[in-house]
Amino acid sequence: MTQSTIHDDFTGYIHNVKENDRIIRERVLQCIKNLHEKNLHCLNEAKIHGKEKLFSEIETIHKRLEKFEQEISKTPVADFKIEGLDKSDEDKLKMIEEKIERLANECGEIIDSLSCSQVDTNIIDQYTRIASHLRLAERLYHERMMILKKAMVFG
């Protein structure tokens, strides 16, 4: 398991929440894009080798990753307050963001550990684990956005 790097050189959410949210969203997006690239490689391999059931399973993850990337890329509609977030909310955000990074990395490790010699059922089981990890990451990302809404000014 690798050490979290998502908050390297990160100043926190205390000041300039908008800019720091953008920085973290870009870092989370990069984690998901790296995972997506690995998944695309597997998708292409399944297609080349005519493994239709496996292709279907991998394509489901591909679509989920595309949707998640779009969600992360969306800029918040409202502006952020000048004073930023309190320390407890910032700590929660950092914990959530590290969990999302860890889940994306674990999914990447699962994909890296797969080989073409494995039977389809084993690969499908691993992709089921990936789907579960992604559902949790999406849920955590929604929780992150709910915390950030406390620092938003609407209208």
Grade residue 155 by pLDDT with cuts at 50, 70 and 90.
very low
Residue 141 located in a structural domain:
yes
Q: Which residues contact 115 (CB under 8 A, 6 or more apart)?
A: none
pLDDT digits (tens, 9 = 90+) for 62-104: 999 999 999 999 987 777 776 678 889 999 999 999 999 999 9
Residue 8 located in a structural domain:
no
Residue 10 located in a structural domain:
no
User: What sign for the dihedral angle of Cα 130, 72, 148, 77?
Assistant: negative
Share of the chain above pLDDT 70, in %: 92
What pLDDT is stored for residue 137 in this prediction?
Answer: 97
Q: Residue range 53-63: average pLDDT? A: 91
Residue 9 located in a structural domain:
no
What pLDDT is stored for residue 24 in this prediction?
Answer: 93
Residue 106 located in a structural domain:
yes
Residue 5 located in a structural domain:
no
Instruction: Calculate the average pLDDT of the chain.
Output: 88
Q: Residue range 27-42: average pLDDT? A: 94
Q: Which residues contact 46 (CB under 8 A, 6 or more apart)?
A: 54, 55, 58
Number of domains in the chain: 1
CB neighbour class for 70 (10 Å; exposed up to 12, middle 13-18, buried from 19): exposed
pLDDT digits (tens, 9 = 90+) for 110-130: 998 886 555 566 888 899 999
Distance of CA 127 to the CA centre of its chain: 16
What pLDDT is stored for residue 20 in this prediction?
Answer: 87
Give the up-direction half-sphere exposure of residue 19: CA atoms within 13 A in the CB hemisphere: 7
Residue 49 located in a structural domain:
yes
What pLDDT is stored for residue 62 in this prediction?
Answer: 96
Residue 82 located in a structural domain:
yes
Residue span of the structural domain in which 121 resides: 17-153
